[in-house]
Amino acid sequence: KAMDIGMKSYGEFNPNMTFVYNSYSNILKSKEDYKGAIDLLEKSLKIREQTYGNAHKWTCESNYKLAEILTLDKQYEKAIVYYKQAIKIGKEIKSSQYLANAELYLAKLYIEQDMQFEKSQELILSSLDKNIKVFGYENDIISEDYYWLAELAKKRKNKEKFFAFITRALKSAKYDKNSLEEVIAPYQALSALALMGDWYMDTYERTENTKALEDKFQLIDQEIALIKHIQKNFSTDQSKINLANEYRKVFEKGLNTCWILYHKTKDLKYLEKAFELSETNRSTTLLEGLQDTKFKLYSGIPKELLEKEKKIKQTLERVKLDLYYEVKSSNPDKEYYSNLLDQRILWSKRLDSIHLVFEKDYPRYVDLKYSNKVIGISDVQKNIDRYTQFIIYFLGENDLYSFDITKDAVSFLKGAVSKDLIEKTNLFKSNLIAQNDIQKVSKTLYRYLLKNQLEKTKENLVIIPDNVLNYIPFEILQSDDNKYLIEDYIICYVGSVRIFLELNNDFFKYSPPKFWAGFSPEYTDGNTISSASNEIKSISEMVDGDDFIGENSKKQNFLDNNKNYSILHLAMHAKINNEYPQFNKLVFVDGDLTASEIYLSNTKANLTVLSACSTGFGKLEKGEGIMSMARAFHFSGVPSVLMSLWEVPDKETKKIMISFYKYLEKGKNKSEALRNAKIEYLASTNDKNLLHPFYWAGFVLNGNSDQLYGNYTTYYYILLGLILTSIIWFFIKKRI
């Protein structure tokens, strides 16, 4: 917005524009577009040199800001030149603030590159002295200076100085683990705690003294509490996801600490803490979205206020969508674009205002929202039967961790296989979609992911994948005896244990008036899915459902009926936007239904079947999972989603879907019905090509696996029983 106004008011090369260029470069830095940020900062520096000359504070700032991005882009020698130029200018103009910044940044580069330690200390102490005179002792700038002195002491293995500087860094941040609301520099405090933990781990690795490891363990709760405190102050889901990704390393290091201590001591507190760590950084925003609807209803927030919030959200999402299309257009209308930016700011403020009302006037909502209830292993075991096993993965940069939980047992495993596992998973996925031979890599993945994890006596598997593991169907991993996993197990997937428990809550079990509706558009551009309409007609006849085919398969028809059916079946094209997943969309005959619209749709179906192209695919956020169309339906309140991981051929899709419903009718639960449909498909053909998993393994079930037909059959039997009882009672009474 500022860039647009500035260009109109000042022109591209006006010195006032340099402030906008610098601000925008910060955004590009956050998006890791270092080349774009460098271009802007080089332009800014050139303008400032021409306008103010070399000996000026703004020229000094441009030099060290440019050097900072060059460092991130690994152009270290060039960065050092610009840092030194900034220091030279700072000394000439006697600007303590800009000189202090340049000194600290150059010292950071030296320390990170393990060079010039003496010079680094000199630079940081000089920066610290200047900053204390300007800012005093308690603020984020002073805390960061002390942090880097501690980092330098750690590199030099100077224990006394390390803890002295860490203590000062925490004190400058006003950190008190019992009073987080008073912390004025939470990021610096978190970095200091993490650095202290690294010191303890280094000590343990050097001495094998478990006391150092126990000291690190004591820091874990403090780190997690700080991360949650920071997240609480973010208003957008994407900000929370970005933070979780940024501090994922904290969780991985904590898991490693717990794993070592648990296997050394067998003390269950370390196992429980490891499980808590694994859950805390997993599908957090999806869980919050599911719980938020429930918490608002439980808190007594008036219906009209909730409706007002919904309308504001819908308007804001429409504005964002219009902005997206305008930016992507070949000839954007600058005036219209500017107006849309104004609208986004306006509606964002209105949404913030109504959320402040919720938190101010409805204290029970605040209590529920920020209760941070911890889920333990026993909570899992209470909620599963003796035939079920959970396998929960955490795929870090170095190690794969897995928790294997049954009704009466648990194991916690670790393997230093991450790099090879990620490489093999990506190879498996690409070979699978290309219909190449996958047996060798499939067996490798089986050994990494299942061989030591599987409990042979359990037939139901709940898989909680992580990172790139979200992209593959575990059903087709093969054991050494060439058997697919699906041959022995019934499998479903879910984002986290907390999501599993939430989606099995009675709040998300609906009793809509009708059972099934199917939607299948016919597109005018000749892009119609050939078997989709036949698929919908066949299933509709089988289950006595309602079909919305061709011209009737409209977006508005779907939105008008998304609370009226237990199953919603969508056989249509999906378009996936990896850059902006909120604009993933399903293509109806009269327009697109975006993921952001689905989020707000409050869909009340017990199952959504997405037999569209790649509806389980999307942008991967390591802790949050895949930002897919399936996730959007979960977010809107649907407890089970059957989705595709790739574009499954039309004919095979139809066969599997019809078979799936056949087994649902027989009273099988959703996971078992899908498994039986796949097994039946394999038995139906001898064609070697069609037996390739590409043709039949793409559909997976995410969420709960409850029976659907059993519930409806029971409902109708009860209803019929009541009617018969009433008739009999009527005749008995008449005779009397």
Q: Indicate the residue among 182, 205, 228 that finishes a domain.
A: 205
pLDDT in tens, 567-599: 999 998 888 888 788 888 999 988 899 989 998
pLDDT in tens, 254-277: 999 999 999 999 999 999 999 999
Selection from 644, 659, 648 nearest residue 701 by Cα: 644
Q: Indicate the residue among 177, 205, 233 that finishes a domain.
A: 205
How many CA atoms lie less than 13 Å away from 406 in the CB half-sphere?
A: 16
Q: CA Rg, the chain, in Å?
A: 29
Asked if residue 688 is part of any domain, the answer here is yes
Backbone angles phi, psi at 460, to 5 degrees: -105, 125
Asked if residue 572 is part of any domain, the answer here is yes
- Angle at the Cα of 34 from the Cα atoms of 342 and 147, rounded to 5 degrees: 95
Residues 30 and 179 in one domain: yes
Q: Rounded distance, CA 317 to CA 306, Å? A: 16
Residue 31: pLDDT band (50, 70, 90) is confident
Start-to-end Cα distance in the chain: 83
- Give the tokens for residue 61: 């700032």
DSSP code per residue over 485-518 = GGGT-EEEE-S-HHHHHHHTSGGG----SEEEEE
pLDDT in tens, 400-446: 999 999 999 999 999 999 999 999 999 999 999 999 999 999 999 99
User: Above 90 in pLDDT, residue 711?
Assistant: no
User: Above 70 in pLDDT, residue 732?
Assistant: no
| List of residues 6+ apart from 49 with CB closer than 8 A | 59
What domain count does the chain have?
Answer: 4
Selection from 574, 535, 565, 528 nearest residue 550 by Cα: 528
Selection from 384, 374, 339, 586 nearest residue 494 by Cα: 384
Q: Mean per-residue pLDDT for 233-239?
A: 70
Residues 94 and 14 in one domain: yes
Is-contact 104 148, C-beta < 8 A?
Answer: yes
User: Above 60 in pLDDT, residue 736?
Assistant: no
Strand partners, 481: none
Residue 1: pLDDT band (50, 70, 90) is confident
3-state class (DSSP) for residue 234: coil
Q: Rounded distance, CA 75 to CA 375, Å? A: 45
3-state class (DSSP) for residue 118: helix
**Mean pLDDT value across the chain:** 90
Residues 88 and 187 in one domain: yes
User: Above 60 in pLDDT, residue 45?
Assistant: yes
Is-contact 48 16, C-beta < 8 A?
Answer: no
Q: Rounded distance, CA 81 to CA 87, Å? A: 10
| pTM listed for this prediction | 0.87
Residue 714: pLDDT band (50, 70, 90) is very low
Q: Rounded distance, CA 59 to CA 488, Å? A: 68
Single-letter amino acid, residue 574: A
pLDDT in tens, 143-152: 999 999 999 9
Residues 348 and 390 in one domain: no
Residue with tokens 């405090």: 189
pLDDT in tens, 458-473: 999 999 999 999 999 9
Query: What CATH code is carried by the domain that includes residue 698?
Result: 3.40.50.1460
pLDDT in tens, 494-536: 999 999 999 998 999 999 999 999 999 988 766 666 678 888 9
Q: Indicate the residue among 499, 532, 552 that finishes a domain.
A: 499
Residues 349 and 398 in one domain: no
pLDDT in tens, 176-222: 999 999 999 999 999 999 999 999 999 999 999 999 999 999 999 99
Q: Rounded distance, CA 465 to CA 442, Å? A: 16
Sequence-separated contacts (24+) of 261-267 with Cβ below 8 Å: 261/210, 261/213, 261/214, 261/217, 262/412, 264/210, 265/210
Asked if residue 173 is part of any domain, the answer here is yes
- Give the tokens for residue 601: 């749709």
At residue 583, the pLDDT reads 86
Domain that includes residue 325, residue range: 301-361
pLDDT in tens, 272-303: 999 999 998 887 788 888 888 888 888 889 99
Is-contact 589 528, C-beta < 8 A?
Answer: no
At residue 715, the pLDDT reads 46
Q: What is the DSSP letter of 150?
A: H
Residues 33 and 164 in one domain: yes
Asked if residue 518 is part of any domain, the answer here is yes
